[in-house]
Amino acid sequence: MTNVQKQRVVITGLGAITPIGNTLSDYWDGLMAGRNGIGDITHFDPAKHDCRIAGQVKDFNPSDYMARKEAKRMDRFAQFGVVASKQALADAQLEITDLNADQIGVLIGTGVGGLKVMEDQQEVYLTKGPARVSAFTIPMMIANMASGLTAIHTGAKGPNSCTVTACAAGSHAIGDAFRLIQNGYAQAMIAGGAEAAITPLSLAGFASAKALSKRNDDPAHACRPFDRDRDGFVMGEGSGILILESLDHALARNAKIYAEIVGYGTTCDAYHMTSPVPEGLGAAKAIELALKDGNLNATAVSYINAHGTSTPANDSTETKAIKKALGNHAHAVAISSTKSMTGHLLGGSGGIEAVATTMAIYRDRVPPTINLDNPEEACDLDYVPHTSREMTVDVALSNSFGFGGHNVTLALQKYVA
């Protein structure tokens, strides 16, 4: 493969299951309207918890998309991934057949996988004994199953894998899928992230780490990236999936092209389990690498979909990283955190945020950062407060940073023949 000319890679299909909408159009309309998807937790009784709010997916019935028996043998995160993948394939009008199946792969990242199944079956084990534990516990729990089940449901027989890099997992999956197509190992990939970690143990763990907002009396304003009054992130759930294709493959079937993915930068802070390296050096390097990979100048960037978690550490550090990577041009770039509306989907966040970034390029309109009433002094860039903005978006970046020091930046641009 060393002598194969690198393929151009384009985005031809999008799927989204999110706290503000369970289709691409509903999700995009929600972003443009600044819709809040955060509210009281209803998946379980959170009365004992310090944090009792989250961005839950509403009105999702997996039986609308698959047989009830099949749905019962999947954790919620895998259900999200399979359904969003089917949406994306339908949007791309890409049919998988015996002739092309081995050239179409799946790469769906997740932070924790089937956590709900693990918690539920642990309770069964403790109260009823080992003989009562479900035979499907392991295949429902393991993190690769969103990718595996998506292949089973779609027939994709090409490269199939799963990235598990905390909150960078979805973006890593898209970046790795981009590389597979670019280097000739696949013609198309179903790629993104999926997560369903709003569970008692997960909520308690993040709360004990002092990572979550405790604004239980005002969930609509709890997630406030870059705002001086932010007090932590809000958990979310869902899935965002992109169909990536080689340009030749897309053109041969006259596919609609949303945008082109041109750069992928990934680094590690090698610093701390949960805190970013000071001054955002690792994140800045990921941005720089994505630009270099895409043969882009910093001044070409129009928009950044920020990681923007609404935590004190991330938002100021990410601002420093953007300034370091883009120099003076940082102040001319529109930046927004869509987590202000969806909450933080952990390993699924890179997926839905790449969908948002793609649509921003395709529609020439960027989502807002809601709840940004009083920007922190250290957060002094253009974060598109409150309302969406019409503007030409030729080049856009999507940032994702994960526990363990994982940093990913994806660089996308308008498709030009």
Catalytically annotated residues = 167, 307, 344
Strand order in the sheet with 303-305: 160-161, 104-109, 188-195, 238-246, 9-17, 259-268, 406-413, 395-402, 303-305, 334-336
DSSP 132-172: GS-TTHHHHHSTTHHHHHHHHHH---S-EE----GGGHHHH
- Report the distance separating Cα 118 and Cα 76, nearest Å: 12
Compute CA distances 88 → 15, 95, 252, 306, whole Å.
Answer: 4, 11, 19, 23
Taking a C-beta distance cutoff of 8 angstroms, is the pair 92, 13 a contact?
yes
Handedness of CA 350, 354, 9, 11 (dihedral sign): positive
- Report the distance separating Cα 88 and Cα 352, nearest Å: 12
Residue written as tokens 């998988």? 96
Q: How many C-beta neighbours within 10 Å does residue 214 have?
A: 15
Rg over alpha carbons for the chain, rounded to the nearest Å, is 20
- Report the distance separating Cα 20 and Cα 27, nearest Å: 6
